[in-house]
């Protein structure tokens, strides 16, 4: 993501990364990092928590507004609301692509060959 962000910054767009691993993210040279101590894969918070997600988004935008130079690292003041032992590492139901590939495993090689980008209509799951 850092490479994409640097390109965007060179084009005049200001960017910020939400990251649970600030040191590692900053080490790859992203322009601005907003550190958030949420589980990996959930930088905006819990599913269905629209108010909490808006608060995180607002804080991230504030970093964009106040961090005028690249290389800025800001720790956001949010805490995950449940103990680490209760955090699920996988969703309650699999993503649609996972469901499709379980039903049609022969599509996996096509996925890795990037063929789906050329023929997306064949990938649409029709129930």
In a domain, 87, yes or no: no
Q: How far apart are CA 80 and CA 56, in angstroms?
A: 12
Percent of the chain with pLDDT over 70: 83
pTM score: 0.65
69 lies in the same domain as 103: no
Write down the pLDDT at residue 101.
87
Q: What is the mean pLDDT of residues 60-73?
A: 88
Mean pLDDT across the chain: 82
10 lies in the same domain as 51: yes
pLDDT value at 36 more than 80: yes
66 lies in the same domain as 101: no
Write down the pLDDT at residue 90.
65
Q: Taking Cα atoms as reference points, which of 84, 92, 85, 74 lies closest to residue 38?
A: 84
pLDDT value at 123 more than 80: no
Q: Which domain holds residue 101?
A: 93-127
């Amino acid at each position: 993501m850092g490479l994409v962000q640097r390109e965007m910054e060179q084009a005049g767009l200001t960017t910020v990364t939400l990251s649970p691993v600030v040191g590692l993210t900053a080490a790859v040279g992203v322009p601005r990092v907003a550190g958030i101590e949420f589980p990996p894969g959930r930088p905006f918070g819990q599913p269905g928590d629209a108010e909490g997600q808006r608060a995180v988004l607002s804080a991230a935008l504030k970093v964009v507004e106040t961090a005028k130079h690249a290389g800025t690292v800001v720790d956001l003041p949010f805490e995950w609301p449940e103990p680490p032992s209760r955090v699920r590492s996988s969703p309650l139901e699999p993503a649609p692509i996972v469901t499709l590939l379980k039903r049609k495993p022969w599509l996996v090689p096509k996925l890795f060959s990037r063929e789906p980008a050329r023929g997306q209509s064949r990938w649409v799951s029709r129930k």
